[in-house]
Amino acid sequence: MLPQVHILFENPSWLPPLVSALEREGFPVQLHDVARGLVVDASRPPEAGIWLNRMSPSAHTRGHGEAVALMREVLAWLEASGRRVINGSRAFDLEVSKLQQDLALRRHGILTPTTVLAVGRARILEAAAAFEGPFLTKHNQGGKGLGVQLLNDARELAAHLDSPEFDAGPNAQVVLQEYIRAPQPFITRVEIVGGKFLFAMKSSTAGGFELCPSDVCQAEKAAAHPDVCPADGAATFEASDMTADDPLIAQYLRLCAAEGIDIAGIEFVQGPDGRRYTYDINANTNYNAALGARTGVDGMREVAHWLKTTVTPAVRAATQPSAA
pLDDT digits (tens, 9 = 90+) for 86-135: 999 999 999 999 999 999 999 999 999 999 999 999 999 999 999 999 99
Q: What does the pLDDT read at residue 54?
A: 96
| pTM of the predicted model as reported, rounded to 2 decimal places | 0.90
271 pLDDT above the threshold of 90: yes
Select the more confidently predicted residue: 215 or 140. Answer: 140
Least confident of 38-52, 108-122, 174-188, 234-248: 234-248
Q: Is residue 107 part of a domain?
A: no
How far apart, in whole angstroms, are the C-alpha atoms of residue 281 and residue 268?
9
How far apart, in whole angstroms, are the C-alpha atoms of residue 207 and residue 177?
20
Residues 14 and 68 in one domain: yes
Residues 189 and 277 in one domain: yes
Say which residues have a Cβ less than 8 Å from residue 35's Cβ, sequence separation at least 6: 10, 59, 62, 64, 67
Residues 151 and 76 in one domain: no
Q: Is residue 255 part of a domain?
A: yes
CB count in 10 Å sphere of residue 16: 12
Residue-wise pLDDT for 3-17, tens only, equals 999 999 999 999 999
33 pLDDT above the threshold of 50: yes
Residue-wise pLDDT for 152-171, tens only, equals 999 999 999 999 989 999 89
Q: What does the pLDDT read at residue 230?
A: 46
278 near 111, Cβ under 8 Å? yes
Q: What does the pLDDT read at residue 147?
A: 77
Q: How many domains does the chain have?
A: 3
Q: What does the pLDDT read at residue 320?
A: 78
Q: What does the pLDDT read at residue 231?
A: 42
Residues 220 and 252 in one domain: yes
Q: Using alpha carbons, list the distances in angstroms from residue 254 to 8, 243, 282.
A: 26, 16, 16
Q: Using alpha carbons, list the distances in angstroms from residue 298 to 13, 17, 23, 116, 320.
A: 18, 9, 14, 36, 33
Residues 216 and 280 in one domain: yes
Q: Is residue 320 part of a domain?
A: no
Exposure string for 169-185, b = 16+ CB within 10 A, e = fewer: bbeebbbbbbbbeeeee
Q: Share the mean pLDDT of the chain.
A: 90
Residues 149 and 204 in one domain: no
Q: What does the pLDDT read at residue 211?
A: 59
Q: What does the pLDDT read at residue 227?
A: 55
313 pLDDT above the threshold of 60: yes
Kindly list the strands in the beta sheet with 115-118, ordered across the sheet, starting from the edge strand earlier in the chain. 115-118, 174-178, 135-139, 149-151
Identify the CATH number of the domain in which residue 253 sits: 3.30.470.20
- Residue 85, domain extent: 5-94
Euclidean distance between the first and the last CA atom of the chain, given in angstroms as a whole number: 26
Q: Is residue 240 part of a domain?
A: yes
Identify the CATH number of the domain in which residue 83 sits: 3.40.50.20
